[in-house]
Structure 1
Amino acid sequence: MQERCNQANQEREKPLIYSHITALALLGAELPKQTRLSTNALHVAVRNNNARYQQQGIKRLRWSNGAGLDQPYIVGDVQCVPPAVAWAQMAQYLTLSELVVLADSLTRRDKRMKLCERNDFVILLAESGLFWGKQKCKKALRLMKEDTDSSQETRTRLVLRQHGLPDMEVNHAVYDDAGDHIWLLDMAFPDQKVCIEYQGDQHRTDKHQYRQDNIKQRHLRDMGWAVICATAKDLSSAEAKLDLARSVAKALHMRLPPKLTGVCRYLLEEII
């Protein structure tokens, strides 16, 4: 991506400020899974429609808000908007769920993958003017969790919220009886001792990971935890999502609400 952007800059007198998906790629972020924005062209932020680019392969996207354009990030020899700004720019092209997934991915627990903090989003929304999707960003901010480990874990958490289940902790720490070993739970309701563990393909194909998962689950159950494992199949259809939510609700000794309100309703609507 840096090479493509450098090449595009050589054909212009003034360097471009890259934005949206191009900025995310330059920053090394995990790219959105589903978006209405084409990924073939290089995305460039401009303040108004008069800033026209006739250059082939460049997609000019109006960003009248201007946040991030005066003090862009420098990646190699290329300029791009900061991570929080790229996230806000994507609100127009992502569902609410995927906007939350993107926010979580930018604030990973792994310091090598962490590009910003939740407070960066808070400051951006507080200090910037109006832009398309700002209200959606505010809703996403209520749903995001800092220091998560994977986008599929986030999608699992949002599916449960979508069906009316209460908020849950992420990476909740549990110590064994001796107090010398710690288990991090993907998603947990600590008071009820119920946890949800997302298992990707590597949990099945990697023998070491498979054994570690079994040991972890055995110890958790010995300590009285109800462990519910979720996979990609549980997120593959409306019926599968509902079945997963019912299993978690049963472990919590509660029923799914017949009528959704607040953030649960927002997730269900999935307005772009």
Structure 2
Amino acid sequence: MRRRSRLPSGLGPEFSVREARGAGVSRSRLRASDLRSSFRGARSIARATSPSNESGADFFARQREELLQRCRDYLPVAPTRFRFSGVTAAMVYGVPLPRAISRIETLEVAVAAGAQRPRRRGIVGRRLAVVPPPVVRHGLPLLPPEQVWLQLAGVLTLDELIIAGDYLVRRKRADTSVERLVAEVAISTGNHGTKLARLALRDIRAGTDSPKETELRLLIVRAGLPEPVIGHRIADADGYFVGVPDLAYVEERIAIDYDGEVHRTDESVFLDDIERRERFEDAEWRYVRVAKNHLKSPGTLLGRIAHYLRVRSPGG
């Protein structure tokens, strides 16, 4: 079997056909099976793909990694001063999106108003009156997170947009702030999705840790219960740190945590949860743990929270 010739080291893992030809690579070598052609005029070194039967967090991690690679594949043939935008940029930022939307393989690309709109298979181009300086993540130029979030208002439901906003202003490594989201909406009057974005801003809260925490908070508030506090640090009577629950009713001393799959499948996390409950109860806090099924059938959970609010109210 004839061995394939090595590619020039200066090309890197993604390169344009023009660059390769200029470096002396033959046309037949560019058609070899070890190279991938995601976009006309571009090549990248083919990589093994992951199995597609996973679910939950693994599914979204795989979808995001595949999208990141498609974005890198596009770089050699991308126009100058472009930015990834919309759903594409949101996935690069890591914004949690509905499964149907995260499956979309078309890349969204924005350029300045005077530039030619990108016209290439697998690309949806848009022109912007002003192209802001890029926010670079994973080596990719993106529109600012506030602008991307407002663009999502055209494709997400209200709750999905709230979850996306909460993620961007999350507790750890936040991408932006509520104030910046508000400012972006204020200067975008009349744009598609602006009305929905204004509604979503009413329920976006900084300092959250997960989409399910946001979903739980919305569920509680929409049931007519008071809005719980996010990120409250609990200490015992001697001032020693106890923990920070997802949600809390401070006066009533009720702590609420959402438990994801890892809390049931990882033994060390499960054991930590037992100690966590004991610490809260030793500090005289009522501890409520919430699982996925509670979000699907919330009647019992909401009734329990309402009962605790009544019996633990300082005036109750």
Please indicate the TM-score interval, normalised by the length of the shorter structure.
0.7 to 0.9
**Matched residue, 1:235:** 295
Preserved contact between residue 132 and residue 143 of structure 2 (Cα < 8 Å):
no
1:33 counterpart residue number: 98
Gaps of 5+ in 2: 1-66, 312-316
Quick one: which of 141, 150, 159 aligns to 1:97? Answer: 159
Deviates more, 1:136-145 or 1:220-229: 220-229
State the alpha-carbon separation in 2 of the partners of residues 117 and 179 from structure 1: 31
Please report how far the alpha carbon of residue 225 of structure 1 lies from its aligned counterpart in structure 2 after TM superposition.
2.1
Contact 2:106–2:124 at 8 Å: present in 1 too?
Answer: yes
How many Å separate the matches in 2 of 1:199 and 1:123? Answer: 34
CA displacement at 1:135 relative to structure 2: 2.0
Please give the TM-score of this superposition, normalised by the length of structure 1. Answer: 0.79
1:90–1:13 CA distance, 2 compared to 1 (3 A): closer
Partner of 1:71: 133
Counterpart position of 1:171:
231
Verify: 1:109 aligned to 2:171, yes or no.
yes
Q: Select the residue among 196, 206, 224 that pairs with 2:284.
A: 224
Determine if contact 1:24/1:86 at 8 Å carries over to the other structure: yes
Corresponding residue of 1:252: 309
- Give the whole-Å Cα distance in 2 for the aligned partners of 1:170 and 1:192: 15
Q: Percent identity?
A: 26
Alpha-carbon deviation of 1:37? 7.5
* Residue in 1 that maps onto 2:109: 44
Could you tell which deviates more after superposition, 132-141 or 86-95? 132-141
Tell whether 2:243 aligns with 1:183.
yes
Contact 1:195–1:228 (Cα < 8 Å) also in 2: yes
| Correspondence for 1:20 among 65, 86, 107 | 86
Name which one, 1 or 2, has greater alpha-carbon Rg: 2
Q: Which residue of 2 aligns with 1:259?
A: none
Query: Gaps spanning 5+ residues in structure 1: where?
Result: 255-272
Give 2:120's aligned residue: 55
1:182 and 1:223, CA in 2 relative to 1: closer, same or farther beyond 3 A? closer
For residues 80-112 of structure 1, give each alpha carbon's deviation from its aligned partner in whole angstroms, at most 9, with x where no partner exists.
21111111111111111111111111122123x
Name the amino acid aligned to 2:268. H
Number of aligned positions between the proteins? 244
Q: 2: CA distance between counterparts of 1:217 and 1:10? A: 53
User: Is 1:7 aligned to residue 60 of structure 2?
Assistant: no
How far the C-alpha of 1:152 sits from its partner, in A, is 1.1
**Structure 1 residues 214-239: Cα deviation after superposition (integer angstroms, max 9, x where no partner):** 22222322333222211111123xxx
AA aligned to 2:186 is A
User: One-letter code of the match for 2:95?
Assistant: E
The amino acid of 2:105's aligned partner reads N
SS in structure 1 of the partner of residue 255 of structure 2: strand
Once superposed, what is the RMSD of the aligned Cα atoms?
2.6
Q: CA deviation at 1:198?
A: 0.6
- When normalised by structure 2's length, the TM-score is 0.69
| Contact 1:165 1:249 (8 Å CA) reproduced | yes
Matched, 1:118 2:178: yes
Kept in 1: contact 2:178–2:206 (CA 8 A): yes
CA contact (8 A) 2:228 2:247 kept: yes
Shift of 1:2: 4.8
1:157 alignment partner, one of 210, 217, 224:
217
**Distance in 1, Cα, partners of 2:258 & 2:138:** 36
